Amino acid sequence: MEGLIIKNISNDYVILSNGRTYLCKPRGKFRYHGLSPLVGDVVDFDDKEKYLLKIHERKNCLVRPSVSNVDQAIIVASVKNPDLDTYLLDKLLTVVSYHRISPIICFTKLDLLDSDEREQLKNYISYYQKQGYSVVTNQNIDKFSALLEGKITVLAGQSGAGKSSLLNRISPELNLKTNEISYALNRGKHTTRHTELYSVLGGYVVDTPGFSSVDFRGIEKISIRDNMNEMFHYLEYCKYRDCMHIKEDGCFVKNLVEKGEILKSRYENYLHFILEKEEEKR
C-alpha cells in the first residue's frame, strides 16, 4: 500500500492511507543503506506486517526539523516579548529558500507595540515585501488561513512567537500545548516534542521542535548569497560577476546599503552568515 508519514516518534512511524492510520517500523535495509524515513515522505508499506518498504522520491527535505516534501515555510516572528530577532528571521528565510521551500513571514504580537514601534514594523514589512517576500500578520487570520489550504506547511521561528497559538485559532480541535513566556529569558519554553503533520484546511501543517536551531550545514557561501533575495538580484549590477558584497570594489549592494536602500540589519546578518561558514571550515 501507499501512504503518507504523518508522525514519527523514535522508530515508530504513523502512516495515513485511504483515511486510515497504520503504525509501522522501517525495514533493516533502510539503516543498511543509510536512509531515514521522514515525516512528509510518501511511502510503500506492508499493512499486515506493519513495515515500511519504500520511500518515494522527495522534492525536498530538511534535517532539522526532519521533514520532507514541504511546499512552504511560514516563519513566525514575534515583534515583542520576545523581541523581533532579525538574525533568526533572515537565517530561516535563507535556509528554506535554499531548500526550494517558499518562505512566508508572519509577524505576531503587534498589539504589544507602541506607536513608534508600529511605524518601525511598517518599515520592516514594506522592505521585506519589496524584496519579494510574502508577509502576513496574526491580526489577519483569514489571510493566514488561506495560505494553508492544500499545502504542506512547516511553521518555523523562535520559541514563544505564537506558532501553536496560531494553529489553535485556525483549528481549535488541535488543542496544541502552549506555554507562557519566560520573562527572565525573553523567550518561550519549548512545548512541541515530536514532528507531526496536522490536517488543516485540506493541507498539512508541521508543528515541530528545533527549527530555531537551524544552521548552514551543507550550504556553501555562494548559496547563502544567492538565497538572500537582494544579494542575488543586485549581483548583476556589481563590477564583478562573482562579487560576494564584502571587500570588492564596485559593489552595487554595498552602495545600496550606504544609501539606506538595503536594510543595514539584512546586510550585517549576511556578513555574519558568511563569517559563520568560514569559521565552520576552520
Per-residue pLDDT of 36-82, as tens digits, reads 999 999 999 999 999 999 999 999 998 777 899 999 999 999 999 99
| Grid cell at residue 128 | 521585506
Q: Is 196 a member of any domain?
A: yes
Q: Is 160 a member of any domain?
A: yes
Residue 12, domain extent: 2-57
53 and 164 share a domain?
no
- Range with top average pLDDT, 145-149, 187-191, 267-271: 267-271
Mean pLDDT confidence for 238-264: 97
Instruction: Tell me the DSSP string of 179-241.
Output: ---BTTTTBPPP---SEEEEEETTEEEEE-SSGGG---TT--HHHHHHTSHHHHHTGGGSSST
Q: Is 156 a member of any domain?
A: yes
What pTM was estimated for this model as a whole? 0.86
38 and 77 share a domain?
no
* The pLDDT of residue 188 is above 60: no
Q: Is 62 a member of any domain?
A: no
- Give the span between the Cα atoms of 128 and 192, in whole angstroms: 29
* Cβ-count burial 223-253 (b if 16+ within 10 Å, e if not): bbbbbbbbbeebbeebeeeebbbeeeeebbb
Minimal CA–CA distance to 212: which of 189, 244, 236, 183? 189
> How many domains is the chain partitioned into structurally?
3
Boundary (domain end) residue, out of 15, 30, 57: 57
Sign of the dihedral through C-alpha 48, 51, 55, 60: positive
74 and 53 share a domain?
no
Collapse the DSSP code of 65 into the 3-class scheme (helix H, G, I; strand E, B; otherwise coil) and give the result. coil
11 and 74 share a domain?
no
The enclosing domain of 13 has a CATH number of 2.40.50.140
The enclosing domain of 276 has a CATH number of 1.10.40.50
